[in-house]
Amino acid sequence: MTDTPAFRSRLLAGEPLIGTFCKFPIPHAVELLGGLGFDFVVLDEEHAPWDRVTIDTALLGARAAGIAGLVRVSDPVASRILSVLDDGAAGVLVPHVSSAEKAREMAAACRYRGGKRGFSNTTRAGAFGGLGLWDHVEKHDAETVFIAMIEDPGALDDLDGILSTPGLDAAFIGRGDLTVAMGASGMEAPEIIEACTRIMEAAKRHGKPVAIMSGGTEDTGRYREMGASVFITSSDQGFLRVGAAKALADVRKGAN
């Protein structure tokens, strides 16, 4: 099981880390995935029906299973970041960070010192008052992860500004959004591969790890060679669909 306080250290050290998205707003999938040995899960508030209560419960499940629970927040605003961090998220994926200004704003929302994170230690993050004021500040400034999602064509023109932002820990390449926004034929189109290369080269210049979706061994090996170290594969929804389809086909074959 993952030592969740060490998750940021492992990320910044460039360790290969493997996670998945959670779409179902329940804690059970989070617990199951933690037991299997995934390094982290991402609760997908942006594209699934999560709310404050279900996120809170799922993050409790992440703690029970010893897996780092991140949240892809629904909006790139400070109030969304504050709520999930107070609930005990190990960090956030922030969508549509398309400028250095937005990166600085989001980094400030994640940090106390040098930032603007609202203080409360009477939350799960503060052990419900068990952590003193400055112990709480030190712990979360040291452990909170901020990953910026690079998924807009405009971000490609400001990569150095975004990736040099103090307090930004890593970049996630949103190949799907880039493909749609750029009108590319698919995620393997030359212009998308070129965009991925540019993002990874800029991340390397600024010492920032890169996260990317992976479809399997070949995909992972290719992007690992290009510089990625964090790989998100499928989702709880995807695993259920594939497993259920296979089970159905196997039983149908026997029944016929």
Active-site residues, by number, are: 47
| Strand, coil or helix: 233 | strand
Burial (Cβ within 10 Å: 0-12, 13-18, ≥19) of residue 250: exposed
Helix (H) or strand (E) holding 71: strand 68-72
For 196-228, the three-class secondary structure string (H helix, E strand, C coil) is HHHHHHHHHHCCCCEEEECCCHHHHHHHHHHCC
48 neighbors 82 (Cβ within 8 angstroms): no
Closest to 44 measured CA to CA, from 203, 238, 175, 209:
238
The C-alpha atoms of residue 30 and residue 236 are separated, in whole angstroms, by 9
Residue with tokens 């030359």: 190
104-125 per-residue burial string, b: 16 or more CB within 10 A, e: under 16: bbbbbbbbbeebebeeebebeb
- Rg of the chain (C-alpha set): 18
Q: Measured in whole angstroms, how far is the alpha carbon of residue 22 from the centre of its chain? A: 11
